[in-house]
Amino acid sequence: MNGGAVHSALTDFRAALWLPGGHLQSLRRKFGPGVKVDQQGQRLRLDDGDFIDLAWVRPKGEISPGEPIVLIFHGLCGCSESLYVQALQNHLLTRGTTSVVMNFRGCSGEPNHKARSYHSGVTADAGEVFRKLREQFPDNPFHCAGYSLGGNVLLKWLAETGGPSGLERAVSISVPFDLAQCSAALGRGLTRLYGRYFLGRLQQDLAAKKSKFGQKGNRAELALLEELGPLQGIASLWEFDDRVTAPLHGFADAADYYARCSSLPLLREIRTPTLLIQSADDPLVPAASLPDPARLPDNVRLELTGSGGHVGFFSARGSLLERAIADFLVC
């Protein structure tokens, strides 16, 4: 895949004149306007007693054997209702392609049953969901698309598994390949505003979970959250990951979490044909943290645009991101 030039919808991408710079591109994606699609929900029961909610878009109602299915992983504080997710599902709908979004634990509007939640390296959940979908649809080829945090999860999972059977192609978008660098970036300059937004959302979700556990009498899981101690005064994502994410998910501290869950050192282990879509002006992903194309395996290609922001890529003709993803996955 790296052997020659490949034209895509993002080749020679130019940002719309009224959306210059990575910040405006990123904010346009977040705050719309956007499309809404008719999603059908499915709840998967996990082996540990928890649950994950899926959101399906089926153009033809029933899924025929041999029909491709695109599995989508959202980003930090995202969900199946995020505008970028629905934009991709809508585009795939116009192509007659079925898609399903995996809401990470606690991201579908209802706190999950366990103290643990999701994080940038939660590949076990991705693997379990994929296995259950393969059991449900053994005769259908799968493709994957992952955004930001979900893209890091996707790439790490592909590297760890060497390419799951039944998964044919994958695309990642705006991935924080080096979690430590990206976490630090969220505490600097204008990018601090994004960090504060994410931190506020994560704190709200944690408070809602503690409240639910208290009301439902889930004492064992509530005790795990209480063991984190008082969490007042957390002022950055790094601190949140150090005091919440890491201890809840078996890491020594934030530095250990970032080192063990960053996808950057693992990219050479990926065997699945994979497209990495990134922008050089992404305010959440420093250019220094991007992979070197020369060090990628032949089956992995980096599509790096000069502009586009974080999950933006709006040109004068609208968003070109969905077309680029779909062209690679389902042609």
Give catalytic residues, as residue numbers. Answer: 148, 282, 310
Q: Is 107 exposed, middle or buried (0-12, 13-18, 19+ CB in 10 A)?
A: buried
What are the strands of the beta sheet with 40-45, ordered from one edge? 40-45, 51-57, 98-102, 69-73, 142-147, 167-173, 274-279, 300-305
Where on the phi/psi map is residue 116: left (φ > 0), alpha (ψ -120 to 50), or beta?
A: beta
Provide CB contacts within 8 A for 190, sequence distance 6+. Answer: 23, 283
Strands (E), 84-233: 98-102, 142-147, 167-173
Residue 40 — φ and ψ, nearest 5°?
-110, 130
Where on the phi/psi map is residue 256: left (φ > 0), alpha (ψ -120 to 50), or beta?
A: alpha
b or e along 181-208 (b: 16 or more beta carbons within 10 Å of the residue's beta carbon)? bbbbbbeeeebeebbeebbeebeebbee
3-state secondary structure 99-118: EEEECCCCCCCCCCCCCCCC
How many whole angstroms separate alpha carbon 25 and alpha carbon 140? 35
Question: 118: closest CA among 80, 149, 161?
Answer: 149
